[in-house]
Amino acid sequence: MGHLLKHITKLALPVALLLLVGLVLLWTPSFREQPTGTVLLTLCLTAVGAALLQFFFHFSGMTRETDMLPALLYVAAISVFPSLHIQWQAQVAVCAVLIILHILYRGFREKDTTEDAFISSLLLLLTTLLVPDMIWLFPFIWIAYIVLSAFSMRTMLATLIALGMCVIYLGLGLYLGKMSNPFVGLLDRQFIFMSADPEDWIMQAVLMFMGCYFFVIAVIRVDRDSVRQQAVLTLFALFYAATMVMVLYPMTPMRSLPLMLVMLSGMATTFFRQTESIHRGIVFLLYLMLLVAGYLVPTLILDL
């Protein structure tokens, strides 16, 4: 039993693919209860986000395994929330953030990151038109470049130029009446435990607790393979902390949750990809059991 627990996080590729197919089946009730086109679009964007997360892990060297654990953990975290099956805007935001992480990682210890800083800032700011809460992630681009030892005044200037361009674009759109202001009510927020349905926030609270556990492990991790990997892990922990606050005090409930879940999946993958141990096997099983409970309790028990 101990040997099984020690290696349980190493899923064979056929098993991982089978589990992914099974997770897609959890979307079946949403196709019956929600607009089919919206659910299908959200599902496709979720698949794209999972693929981007998988690619980022292999590109950054955070895992040498050939399985699909990052994609599996993210798809599982999204699939257990039926209310997320129509949040296609949130999945666009997830894809944008993963692309931004890739761009940020590319600038590790580079002397000139002005172009990358401009592109990542512009992409982030354009995505705020769909998910306004993402505006709070803008300062974290500066912090990320500091973590990556690539920050300079030119980097900051590039991000401010991108901000200025987006302000002009938004101003013109509002002046011409071609768009509405997405930031109306940005500061009108409410504590999640006072606004959302119990079956939603209970599971979110559990995932936040698990995320805090992985966050602490990420911060104190002592067996990192390189300084580069340490920086990448710090980025996941940094963005997780930011997105968790966005989930706790949301402008639009559930819209920011996928952002937190993708960071949670990233930190969990790095935890499970450390030296195999019975402890990690037990945590892996516990994490999967919590996800299963998060789906079964609202959909089966509370509806009885």
pLDDT digits (tens, 9 = 90+) for 17-72: 888 888 888 899 889 888 999 999 999 999 999 999 988 888 777 666 667 888 99
The pLDDT, as a whole number, for residue 5 is 57
The pLDDT, as a whole number, for residue 223 is 52
Q: What is the CA radius of gyration of the chain?
A: 19
Please give the average per-residue pLDDT across 144-165, as a whole number: 89
Better pLDDT: 181 or 33:
33
Residue 54 in contact with residue 68, Cβ under 8 Å?
yes
pTM of the model: 0.89
Q: Is the pLDDT of residue 198 over 90?
A: no
Kindly tell me the sign of the dihedral angle through the C-alpha atoms of 187, 192, 193, 196: positive
Kindly tell me the sign of the dihedral angle through the C-alpha atoms of 208, 210, 213, 218: negative
- CA 243/CA 46 separation, integer angstroms: 18
Please give the average per-residue pLDDT across 273-283, as a whole number: 76
The pLDDT, as a whole number, for residue 63 is 66
Q: Which two tokens stand for residue 154?
A: 């030119």
Residue 108 in contact with residue 116, Cβ under 8 Å?
no
Q: Is the pLDDT of residue 10 over 80?
A: no
How does pLDDT run across 202-236, given as a tens digit for each residue? 777 878 888 888 888 777 764 555 676 777 788 88
List Cβ neighbours of 188 (8 Å cut-off, separation of 6 or more): 251
**CA-based nearest residue to 261, from 104, 71, 100:** 71
Q: Is the pLDDT of residue 276 over 80?
A: no
Output phi, psi for 248, to 5 deg: -65, -40
The pLDDT, as a whole number, for residue 38 is 93
Confidence of residue 124 (pLDDT cuts 50, 70, 90): very high
The pLDDT, as a whole number, for residue 96 is 94
Angle at CA of residue 229, ends 228 and 231, nearest 5°: 65
The pLDDT, as a whole number, for residue 17 is 82
The pLDDT, as a whole number, for residue 298 is 61
Residue 287 in contact with residue 210, Cβ under 8 Å?
yes
Better pLDDT: 296 or 88:
88
Q: Is the pLDDT of residue 75 over 90?
A: yes
Residue 99 in contact with residue 139, Cβ under 8 Å?
no
Tokens 């599996």 belong to which residue?
A: 72
Average pLDDT, the chain: 82
Residue 104 in contact with residue 145, Cβ under 8 Å?
yes
Please give the average per-residue pLDDT across 184-199, as a whole number: 71
Q: Is the pLDDT of residue 195 over 80?
A: no
Better pLDDT: 280 or 87:
87
**CA-based nearest residue to 85, from 124, 44, 43, 114:** 43
Confidence of residue 261 (pLDDT cuts 50, 70, 90): very high
- CA 45/CA 11 separation, integer angstroms: 24
The pLDDT, as a whole number, for residue 4 is 57
The distance of Cα 66 from the centroid of its chain, to the nearest Å, equals: 21
Expressed as residue numbers, the domain containing 172 is 2-301
Specify the number of domains making up the chain: 1
- CA 229/CA 280 separation, integer angstroms: 20
Better pLDDT: 159 or 225:
159
Please give the average per-residue pLDDT across 167-194, as a whole number: 79
Confidence of residue 304 (pLDDT cuts 50, 70, 90): very low
